[in-house]
């Protein structure tokens, strides 16, 4: 059967099917109401079937139930699906597991089940089978950068649906950067009045000075954020906001110049950055900066109820701190030794601040420099090393190394591939990605919360380009994150490609503008080798 991500156990009984029709009912047990609402709204729209309430003891019924013994355990995301000639029974370890099982049921109904209205002559049937399934990782994430190119709210909601269809459960929402500030903060209105728009945007990723001479921007109101978070929660997806500090902060400094290193440069002359790369304009390590961002996070905590808040912490160029008398005096006052120690102090301040409010800080692996903040978790993006170091020190880790799962990197080395940046990462490369570093012991590996694919949008000007870069590789990543796959060299990529033949039709029905499959047929392939960097185009976050 062509389910993606592949289930842990599946057995089909013969070649017969159970057919759904206008009289097919939905029997809803305690705790299963959210999944029933989703099925009625989504499958109801695609099939035209009413899926009316029914008795759990009748025939021609889809029964939904939650196992009360597993609902608050590690098995909460597990599910079982049994289809017989008389109906189907879907059991979730918890509401989340029931929802993931509903995604599998939808796939089994065929590509037309992914449409928003029924097609003429539709036939709805499920193969007779038994599936038992559970995710490998707790954190199965997608990082969406809306700072470089803004994605309107409807596009974010669409990506939450695409994530749910692939059993991904964490949206890492990159809301701020040098090129734009995307979330309304009511006590600091200039962050969006000024910081959400730039005058122009650079084309491509190379050094040639090509700009689109028109403004680009946008932001989410707080009600937009509440809607996004609620929509995600209905799909059992946690939204982790990222406010990038102390680097990648030029948009904030353009809005509030006092946040910058005013004794080094005239920060009043700064605008929202219209270039890619790493801006040298970073936050000043002052009490005023701390109080300002505490105010930002106070509003964010009201909007994002989840466990984690991402503080960025990456690529903070420290030249201005080296030149700043204020920063040097702060280093001496705090006794932190140098600029790396100053950044570590900055991160530890917010680690303590968030912990006092029942939240956890997570940051890019640069937060290891100068000493890792106690209790902080790490997004390991510069390869595996940061994740290994953090796990061995007893810190939780999300593995998202750029060499494997940066989906903004090109998918082939041919001249027709748009905007060739970073590494060549084929569908097979992503499928053979292993999130847990081999050198970790079992106890250390337990700190790997999971894995995440990252979509940085410098070269993705609209949702069509985001689709092209994300798919089909995000489907391969989803299987890596969910399924208990063999070692990378032993994975059945040819089998995955065969299942993708059906999955492309689902993506078509969803309107996803994926990169068309190319290359030799499955039996002509040899095991993949990780791609090489494109000459003249170094990887850059």
pLDDT tens string 429-449: 999 999 999 999 999 999 999
Strongest mean pLDDT among 74-78, 190-194, 212-216:
190-194
Judge if 304 and 400 occupy the same domain. yes
CB of 246 within 8 A of CB of 281?
A: no
CA distance 10 to 474: 23
Mean pLDDT of 407-421: 83
Confidence label for 207 from pLDDT (cuts 50, 70 and 90) = low
Judge if 177 and 320 occupy the same domain. yes
The angle formed by the CA atoms of residues 211, 213 and 217, to the nearest 5 degrees, is: 95
36-52 confidence digits (pLDDT tens): 999 999 999 999 999 99
Mean pLDDT of 457-463: 92
The enclosing domain of 72 has a CATH number of: 3.30.379.10
pLDDT at 370 over 90: no
Judge if 69 and 214 occupy the same domain. no
Residue 538, domain member (yes or no)? no
CA distance 498 to 284: 54
Q: Is 172 a catalytic residue?
A: no
pLDDT at 534 over 50: no
CB of 491 within 8 A of CB of 431?
A: yes
Judge if 127 and 144 occupy the same domain. no
Exactly one of 145, 177, 184, 244 is catalytic; which is it? 177
Confidence label for 206 from pLDDT (cuts 50, 70 and 90) = low
The angle formed by the CA atoms of residues 99, 102 and 103, to the nearest 5 degrees, is: 95
Residue 1, domain member (yes or no)? no
**CA distances to 7, 202, 405, 485, 518 from 481, in Å:** 12, 34, 11, 9, 24
Judge if 143 and 128 occupy the same domain. no
Mean pLDDT of the chain: 93
Judge if 92 and 159 occupy the same domain. no
Residue 207, domain member (yes or no)? yes
55-114 confidence digits (pLDDT tens): 988 899 999 999 988 767 779 999 999 999 999 999 999 999 999 999 999 999 999 999
pLDDT at 309 over 90: yes
- Residue 502, both tokens: 């059906």
Between residues 239 and 525, which one has the greater pLDDT?
A: 239
Q: Is 177 a catalytic residue?
A: yes
Q: What is the dihedral of CA 467, 433, 426, 378, to 10 degrees?
A: 50
Residue 541, domain member (yes or no)? no
Residue 224, domain member (yes or no)? yes
Domain end: 133, 151, 174, which one? 133
* Structural domain boundaries, residue 298: 139-524
Judge if 364 and 283 occupy the same domain. yes
Burial of residue 356 (CB within 10 Å: 0-12, 13-18, 19+) is exposed
Mean pLDDT of 205-218: 82
pLDDT at 211 over 60: yes
CB of 153 within 8 A of CB of 78?
A: no
CA distance 149 to 466: 10
Confidence label for 528 from pLDDT (cuts 50, 70 and 90) = very low
Confidence label for 32 from pLDDT (cuts 50, 70 and 90) = very high
pTM for the structure as a whole: 0.94
Residue 3, domain member (yes or no)? no
Among residues 238, 240, 244, 541, the alpha carbon closest in space to that of 367 is found at: 244
Mean pLDDT of 345-367: 95
Q: Is 508 a catalytic residue?
A: no
Could you say which DSSP state residue 538 is in? -
Confidence label for 208 from pLDDT (cuts 50, 70 and 90) = low
Judge if 124 and 165 occupy the same domain. no
**CA distances to 25, 37, 77, 130, 409 from 89, in Å:** 12, 16, 16, 10, 42
pLDDT at position 274: 95
CB of 346 within 8 A of CB of 312?
A: no
Structural domain count, the chain: 2
User: 155-190 in b/e burial notation, b at 16+ Cβ within 10 A?
Assistant: ebebbbebbbbbbbbbbbbbbbbbbbbbbbbeebee
Residue 314, domain member (yes or no)? yes
CA distance 143 to 364: 12
Residue 535, domain member (yes or no)? no
Cite the DSSP H helix spans in 50-149: 95-108
Judge if 83 and 196 occupy the same domain. no
Judge if 172 and 187 occupy the same domain. yes
468-508 confidence digits (pLDDT tens): 999 999 999 999 999 999 999 999 999 999 999 999 999 99
142-153 confidence digits (pLDDT tens): 999 999 999 999
The enclosing domain of 449 has a CATH number of: 3.20.20.80
Pairing, β 139-145 against β 448-455: parallel
Judge if 330 and 354 occupy the same domain. yes
CB of 509 within 8 A of CB of 112?
A: yes
Judge if 82 and 152 occupy the same domain. no
Exactly one of 133, 145, 184, 315 is catalytic; which is it? 315
Exactly one of 89, 174, 205, 248 is catalytic; which is it? 248
CB of 309 within 8 A of CB of 375?
A: no
Mean pLDDT of 199-206: 81
């Amino acid at each position: 059967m062509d389910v993606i991500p592949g289930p842990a156990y599946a057995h089909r009984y013969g070649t017969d099917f159970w057919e759904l029709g206008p009289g097919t009912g939905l029997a809803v047990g305690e705790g299963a109401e959210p999944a029933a609402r989703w099925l009625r709204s989504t499958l109801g729209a695609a099939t035209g079937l009413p899926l009316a309430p029914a008795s759990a003891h009748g025939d021609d019924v889809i029964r939904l139930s939650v196992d009360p013994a597993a609902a608050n355990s590690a098995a909460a995301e597990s599910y079982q699906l049994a289809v017989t000639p008389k109906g189907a029974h879907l059991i979730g370890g918890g509401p989340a597991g029931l929802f993931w099982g509903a995604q599998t049921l939808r796939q089994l109904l065929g590509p037309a089940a992914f449409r928003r209205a029924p097609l003429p002559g539709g036939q709805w049937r499920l193969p007779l089978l038994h599936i038992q399934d559970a995710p490998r990782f707790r954190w199965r994430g997608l990082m969406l950068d809306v700072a470089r190119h803004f994605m309107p709210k409807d596009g974010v909601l669409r990506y939450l649906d695409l994530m749910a269809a692939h059993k991904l459960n964490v949206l890492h929402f990159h809301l701020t950067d040098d090129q734009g500030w995307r979330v309304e903060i009511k006590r600091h209105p200039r962050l969006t009045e000024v910081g959400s728009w730039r005058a122009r945007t650079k084309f491509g990723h190379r050094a040639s000075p090509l700009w689109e001479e028109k403004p680009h921007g946008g932001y989410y109101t707080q009600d937009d954020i509440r809607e996004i978070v609620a929509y995600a929660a209905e799909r059992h997806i946690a939204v982790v906001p990222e406010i990038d500090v102390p680097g990648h902060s030029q948009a904030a400094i353009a809005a509030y110049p006092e946040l910058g290193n005013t004794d080094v440069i005239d920060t009043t002359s700064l605008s929202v950055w219209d270039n890619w790369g790493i801006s040298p304009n970073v936050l000043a390590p002052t009490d005023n900066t701390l109080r300002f961002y505490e105010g930002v996070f106070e509003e964010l905590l009201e909007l994002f109820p989840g466990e984690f808040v991402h503080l960025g912490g990456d690529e903070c160029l420290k030249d201005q701190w080296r030149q700043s008398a204020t920063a040097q005096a702060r280093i001496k006052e705090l006794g932190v030794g140098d600029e790396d120690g100053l950044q570590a102090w900055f991160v530890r301040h917010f680690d303590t601040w968030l912990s006092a409010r029942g939240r956890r800080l997570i940051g890019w692996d640069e937060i290891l420099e100068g000493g890792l903040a106690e209790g902080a978790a790490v997004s390991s993006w510069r390869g595996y090393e940061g994740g290994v170091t953090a796990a061995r020190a007893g810190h939780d880790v999300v593995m998202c190394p750029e060499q494997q799962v940066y989906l903004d990197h090109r998918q082939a080395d041919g001249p027709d591939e748009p905007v060739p940046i970073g590494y060549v990462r084929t569908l097979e490369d992503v499928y053979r990605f292993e999130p847990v570093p081999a050198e970790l012991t079992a106890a250390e590996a337990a700190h790997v919360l999971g894995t995440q694919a990252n979509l940085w949008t410098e070269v993705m000007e609209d949702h069509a380009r985001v689709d092209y870069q994300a798919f089909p590789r995000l489907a391969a990543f989803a299987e890596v994150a969910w399924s208990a796959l063999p070692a990378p060299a032993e994975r059945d990529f040819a089998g995955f490609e065969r299942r993708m033949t059906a999955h492309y039709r689902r993506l078509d029905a969803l309107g996803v503008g994926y990169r068309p499959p190319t290359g030799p047929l499955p039996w002509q392939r040899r095991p993949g080798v990780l791609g090489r960097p494109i000459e003249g185009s170094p990887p850059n976050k």
